[in-house]
Amino acid sequence: MRIDILTLFPEMFQSPFSTSILKRAIDRGLVSVNLHNIRDYTHDKHHTVDDYPYGGGAGMVLKPEPIFEAVESVKPESGEVPIILLSPQGRPFSQQVAQELSKYSRLILICGRYEGVDERVHSHLVTDEISIGDYVLSGGELAAMVVVEAVVRLLPGVLGSEASPLDDSHVAGLLEYPQYTRPAVFRDWSVPEVLLSGNHAQIAKWRHEQAILRTLERRPELLDKANLGLEERQLVDRLKQS
């Protein structure tokens, strides 16, 4: 997969993209990430990327011309390439959206700044608008990093054989069960007996119950959509009683 990112702050992407899973995926040629500075697509002496809002009001708005020119310089002549704007007005990001994006061979991400982006970018350039959550950021860069990380780990060959993305929370539709490692007793707090028992059927049952209990306590709305069998539904009903 090739990912092009348009931003006024390409430096922000250096550490996350030169660390860990993402770096390994890039080094192994499974993904390429190309950063483009929107300021490089201006033509005036002062490299102006923003201007005052028509109609007045506080702050500045990103001008459309450099963003259109930057996209046009990276976009191929043919083929379906999503042009994604990270914005608080976007559709909510989720594991399902990450899965959908991971099927494309290319993505173009646009990171806004200031008080917003000229509406003609939203209406005549962008094909998809994504929000990573309902909170205010100073720009789309951190949101773009979140999207890239979530998508790249789904690409074939990116995760080692240890981990399968199919086992993750939000894929199964349940939160994960509690994990423990050594020591068996730490400051008087013991690891649950069943995990030391060596009884793998019992362990699997306990973990599954813990996942359901946790989801019920912390994210009950996830249980409505989770793919649960009859016995699991009955367990949920019993847990709700007590």
Active-site residue, 156 included: no
Q: Out of 24, 153, 207, 219, which one is annotated catalytic?
A: 153
- Nearest CA-CA partner of 142 in 87, 96, 97, 92: 87
Rounded Cα gap, residues 16 and 146, in angstroms: 10
Catalytically annotated residue among 69, 168, 176, 232 = 168
Nearest approach in angstroms of CB 92 to ligand JAH is 9
Which one is catalytic: 115, 119, 193, 217? 115
Taking the complex as a whole, the smallest distance from the CB of residue 135 to ligand JAH amounts, in Å, to 6
- Asked about 128 being catalytic, the answer comes back as no
Of 114 and 177, nearer to ligand JAH (C-beta) is: 114
Q: Least distance from C-beta 137 to ligand JAH, angstroms?
A: 4
3-state secondary structure 12-41: HHHHHHCCHHHHHHHHCCCCEEEEEEHHHH
Nearer to ligand JAH, 54 or 189 (CB): 54
Q: Is the Cβ of residue 66 or residue 112 nearer to ligand JAH in the bound state?
A: 112
Q: How far is the CB of 113 from ligand JAH (least distance, A)?
A: 5
The closest alpha carbon to 70, from 100, 35, 38, belongs to 38
**By CB neighbour count within 10 A (0-12 exposed, 13-18 middle, 19+ buried), where does 107 fall?**
buried
Binding site for ligand JAH (CB under 6 A): 86-88, 112-113, 116, 131-133, 136-140, 143
Q: Which of 53, 88, 165, 178 is catalytic?
A: 88
CA distance 232 to 215: 13
Residue 173 contacts residue 225 (beta carbons within 8 Å): yes
Ramachandran region of residue 104, left (φ > 0), alpha (ψ -120 to 50) or beta?
Answer: beta
> In the bound complex, which residue of the shown chain has the CB atom lying closest to ligand JAH?
112
Nearer to ligand JAH, 127 or 138 (CB): 138
- The yes-or-no answer on residue 153 being catalytic is yes
Token readout for 24 is 């390994």
Catalytic residues: 88, 115, 153, 168
